[in-house]
Amino acid sequence: MKPATQHAPAPPTTYIVGHRNPDADAICSAIAYAAFKHARGERGYIAARCGNSNARIDTILARFRTPLPFYLSDISPRVRDLMATEVFSVSEHATCAEALELLDRHHVRVLPVTCSRKGIDGVAGVVSLAALGGIFIPRVSEPRAMRQVNTSLANITRALNARALHVVGDKKVEELYIRLGTMDISSFWSVSVRENIPANQAIVIVGDRHDIQRRSIELGIRALVITSNLEPDDDTLELAKARGVSVIVSPYDSATTSWVVRTASTIERVIERDVPTVGADIRIVDVRKRFSAGNTHSIPVVSDDGALIGIITKTDILKPVATRLVLVDHNEITQAVPGADEVLIAEIIDHHRLGPLNTAQPILFINEPVGSTCTIVADLFRREGLQPSPDIAGIMMSGLISDTLHLNGPTTTSKDAIILAWLAEIAGVNSKQLADEIFNSGSVILANPPEKIVRSDYKIYEEEGIRFAVSQVEELGFGNFWDHAKPIAAALGDLREEERLAFAALLVTDINTQNSLLLVKGDATLIQRISYAPVEQDEIFDLPGIVSRKKQLIPYLTSLLKEMAADGVLPTTRSAAPFKKKK
């Protein structure tokens, strides 16, 4: 016989994603790096984005027949990622015996209790091993309570695996009391009288004591349970039928039968009904707060219509999440997809400055001073002797051209030029023609409302404890900007307030002249220190020769903040306390 085929487990999902409000390089490098991973035979890698597309990106993807990457709005681990979907539960009508058996068989401490409403098994509460154990703890000071069971004769028969010779009203759940018929008949009922146990609520457990059997029936007890598979005689059974007394034959001895009858009590009294539930889409960080706020060990997970679909425990929330991330075109957590700090960041491929980012373990981190992330990815193809498809080569060309302004930007290196020529040959595309197509694909300012313009490609930075944002749009001339300068300035001010920033800036770059305008909204002390010439308004500055946010503008703004820190005055947000330099 041939051995059964062994299938390797599916690899964890790894999303390759660029920064928030992605530009062409962020989108193109994510697509290209996923293609590189697949070319190497690595599975589970998915190109993703954490922001909307724009006219330029749409033009590139349409040109090279490539779909927009998967939209990833938030990577935060959710309950569905860690919950147990194989749930062991009991009905609210179950017995203690049934609950105890499930707890023991599956080695769990808590069981959800379900109730059926309109065809949906919802959550009525939970029952725990501790609560069930409390029923069977001897309470010598309350002998009457120790005899009490709240159940039906059908439950007792099922728990005992017994034979019902004659049963009256077996489905009725009622309050019953156990009595053992082990004493002399002369004193048999005296204990029940002292404990005020009515005969019609008594269950008498007895062996082959025929006198006790008949006396119990004559007293009108609720049920007679005869142990050790001993049959009553015909006259006794006929008397029971005549008096309406149920007769059940147990396979166990009297001591065991007595204990099992107690476990046949329904779980009604031990259900903890005031329990929280969560949905599968709730973030794990929020569930941790619920666990820390009390002594809850597990929480049932319900669907939108209230049906039980899983359970999550304190142990579950400590498990690592299978989802992983590869960051491309950024390495700062403030620019990453929300929730990135809660999952495993496996790799970073970037060409920007290093920001504050901690990882739980060593990772692959490629950071090169080149003009685009697509340059790095293309070089990985080349070094490993792998040739991308013509469309993927065109995608990488587009990201490189966009980020380097077709090799005219200040971040451009000789490596970018070499890689662009290599890609152009594979794609069969003239880079100049592609650049014209990309840069003429549409004006960001004309195609979007002001609030989207200032967020179309913005990144948040932090220097000297100060948070600020810098957006950038590339246009063919400044005419469109001047036509919409006032509403764009208002939107930039709104962005500053919404994100609680010290200041927000928008760099508008003219691709033709390789010059830029800088619009700044924020703290006046910072604006006054900007050394470039203001244009028409004090918040708009002329930046000749400045086209790179990364290599030219950010270093300049960082130097201003360091100067202000040295002088003891830093810009603040409108809602934050003023900065005071420590003496």
Phi, psi of 532 (to 5 degrees): -75, 160
Task: For the chain, give the mean pLDDT.
Answer: 89
Chain centroid to Cα 232, Å, comes to 62
Measured distance CA(81)–CA(281) in Å, rounded = 9
Task: Please report which helix (H) or strand (E) contains residue 504, including its range.
Answer: strand 503-510
Core vs surface per residue 558-581: b (16+ CB within 10 A) or e = bebbeebbeeebbbbbeeeeebee
Could you please report the per-residue DSSP string of 379-419?
HHHHHTT----HHHHHHHHHHHHHHHTTTTSTT--HHHHHH
Residue 209 structure tokens: 């004591």
Phi, psi of 366 (to 5 degrees): -110, 115
pTM exceeds cut of 0.75: no
- Quote the pLDDT of residue 578: 40
Percent of the chain with pLDDT over 70: 94
What would the mean pLDDT of 323-338 be, rounded to a whole number? Answer: 94
Three state DSSP letters for 61-81: HHHCCCCCCEECCCCCCEHHH
- Quote the pLDDT of residue 141: 60
Measured distance CA(265)–CA(144) in Å, rounded = 15
Nearest Cα neighbor of 335 from 14, 82, 16, 20 is 20
Contacts of residue 186, Cβ cutoff 8 Å, sequence gap at least 6: none
Q: In the predicted model, is pLDDT for residue 438 greater than 50? A: yes
Task: Please report which helix (H) or strand (E) contains residue 97, including its range.
Answer: helix 96-106
- Quote the pLDDT of residue 417: 98
- Quote the pLDDT of residue 185: 79
List pLDDT tens digits, range 71-110: 999 999 999 999 999 999 999 989 998 899 899 999 888 8
* Lowest mean pLDDT across 11-20, 126-135, 413-422, 431-440: 126-135
Q: In the predicted model, is pLDDT for residue 6 greater than 50? A: no
* Lowest mean pLDDT across 50-54, 179-183, 216-220: 179-183
- Quote the pLDDT of residue 568: 85
- Quote the pLDDT of residue 486: 94
The third-level CATH classification (topology) of the domain covering 14-77+323-439 is inorganic pyrophosphatase (n-terminal core) (3.90.1640)
Torsion of CA 157, 163, 166, 169, to 10 degrees: 20
Q: Which amino acid is at 344?
A: L
Q: In the predicted model, is pLDDT for residue 2 greater than 50? A: no
Contact 558, 552 (CB under 8 A): no
Helix (H, G, I), strand (E, B) or coil at 371: coil
Residue whose entry in the numeric block shows the structure tokens 């950038």: 472
- Quote the pLDDT of residue 577: 39
Per-residue CA distances from 99 to 33, 103, 149, 251, 401 (Å): 52, 6, 15, 22, 67
Measured distance CA(233)–CA(230) in Å, rounded = 10
Residues in the chain: 583
List pLDDT tens digits, range 249-287: 999 999 999 989 988 988 988 899 888 899 999 999 899
Q: In the predicted model, is pLDDT for residue 581 greater than 50? A: no
For the chain, domain boundaries = 14-77+323-439, 445-567
Contact 562, 464 (CB under 8 A): yes
- Quote the pLDDT of residue 11: 72
- Quote the pLDDT of residue 580: 38
Q: In the predicted model, is pLDDT for residue 463 greater than 90? A: no
Give the residue with greater pLDDT, 130 vs 15.
15
List pLDDT tens digits, range 369-424: 999 999 999 999 999 999 999 999 999 999 999 999 999 888 899 999 999 999 99
The third-level CATH classification (topology) of the domain covering 445-567 is Diaminopimelate Epimerase; Chain A, domain 1 (3.10.310)
